[in-house]
Amino acid sequence: MTQTRFDKLNASLRTSDLDAVILNPGPTLKYLSGLSFHLMERPVVLFAAKDQTPALVLPELELQKVASLPYALQVFAYGENPSGWGEVFRKAVQALGLDGKRIGVEPRALRLLEFQYVKASAPEAEFPDASDVLAGLRLRKDAAEVEAMRRAVQIAQSALEAVIPQIKIGMTEKELAAELVMQLLRHGSEPEMPFSPIVSAGPNSANPHASPSDRKLQAGDLLVVDWGAAYDGYISDLTRTFAVGEVDAEYQKIHKIVQEASAAGRAAAKPGVPCADVDKAAREVIERAGYGKYFTHRTGHGIGMEGHEDPYMRGDNMQILEPGMAFTVEPGIYLPGRNGVRIEDNVVITATGADVLSDMPREIRVVG
């Protein structure tokens, strides 16, 4: 599988104006090589040059990771003394003949630390944006990737179901978030989760990206829980909104509207339609109900090895949905200073429609 992915990248490089790409630790490096490294003070860079064996610069302490790979890789290792690191980078660049060439980078991922070593080793090279070449590699998930994502969804749902009976009025958002993290680990999530859970209630729930606080849950709150799990390198990203005790009629109403918008967005997800149609389908439900100005973000984003990747469910995005594309559908209504609602599901486009990986109840549920 890994060799096939390198071959796929090589094919993309052949049709691009790039001679190579460089990657530091992150999802794309792991996708291509199967190798995981932490971003740290010791630089790690994968060089993938057109029609050449890939090269990896890494610290000697990481050599065990590349001791028995099922594919060819040129390895350039350095010791603990930073004064010798530059020379190892130069050897890698020379081995691939990259000075003076066009070496593509991931703008959102490549650190200055790694870039400086590569730039010093290839002073005549150009470093254009490789986003288009690299995004296409991970855009369409294969069956194994979809199954890993499905498992990540199942873990996340089981974990929250285990937490729900423990939710009580007076519990703080932080306490609830901590319990959810423990349950995610107990139910099988990898320790490196896609993001820290968002647990927000009452006025805090009107902030789409609130952080858990010391605020205690109160009767009448809407409680937004946005959480996910990681399994075999792939993630889930879900949201459900609960009622803490009895809530006002308007809050029940906006929950119902968001639930209908969620259904409309999921129904619009089909191969051959633009991403914009998913956004429009969900947004129209909320706008018709008179709450359009309170839906303040796009309807969804791609998911896979990262929590946010292509494709994006945005009203101006005419990218056509194709089988294997995976993304969220997450409409919301946020009433500033009062309460908010969001419902989020994970969807994969199939040959004939869409496979909704998440099935946790979307109806409003009373907790506390």
Return the pLDDT at 198.
98
Return the pLDDT at 208.
96
Q: What are the residue boundaries of the structural domains of the chain, listed by start? A: 2-138, 140-367
Pick from 151, 140, 115: nearest CA to 21 = 115
pLDDT per residue, tens digit, the chain (368 aa), is 678 899 999 999 999 999 999 999 999 999 999 999 999 999 999 999 999 999 999 999 999 999 999 999 999 999 999 999 999 999 999 999 999 999 999 998 999 999 999 999 999 999 999 998 998 899 999 999 999 999 999 999 999 999 999 999 999 999 999 999 999 999 999 999 999 999 999 999 999 999 999 999 999 999 999 999 999 999 999 999 999 999 999 999 999 999 999 999 999 999 999 999 999 999 999 999 999 999 999 999 999 999 999 999 999 999 999 999 999 999 999 999 999 999 999 999 999 999 999 999 999 999 99
Map residue 54 onto helix, strand or coil.
coil
Distance CA(360)–CA(260), nearest Å, equals: 15
Return the pLDDT at 136.
85
Which fold does the domain 140-367 belong to in CATH?
Answer: Creatine Amidinohydrolase (3.90.230)
Neighbours of 165 (CB within 10 A): 8
Return the pLDDT at 1.
63
Which fold does the domain 2-138 belong to in CATH?
Answer: Creatine Amidinohydrolase; Chain A, domain 1 (3.40.350)
Query: Do 140-367 and 2-138 fall under one CATH topology?
Result: no
Return the pLDDT at 171.
98
Q: Containing H/E element for 87?
A: helix 85-96
Distance CA(2)–CA(312), nearest Å, equals: 26
Neighbours of 170 (CB within 10 A): 10
Distance CA(192)–CA(355), nearest Å, equals: 26
Map residue 70 onto helix, strand or coil.
coil
DSSP letters for 115-182: HHHHHHH-TT-B--B-HHHHHHHHHS--HHHHHHHHHHHHHHHHHHHHHGGG--TT-BHHHHHHHHHH
Instruction: Please give the structure tokens belonging to residue 76.
Output: 């350039």
DSSP 310: E
- Backbone dihedral angles phi then psi of residue 343, each to the nearest 5 degrees: -130, 125
- First-to-last alpha carbon distance for the chain, in angstroms, is 48
Return the pLDDT at 3.
80
Return the pLDDT at 118.
98
Burial class of residue 91 in the structure, from the number of CB atoms within 10 Å of its CB (0-12 exposed, 13-18 middle, 19+ buried): middle
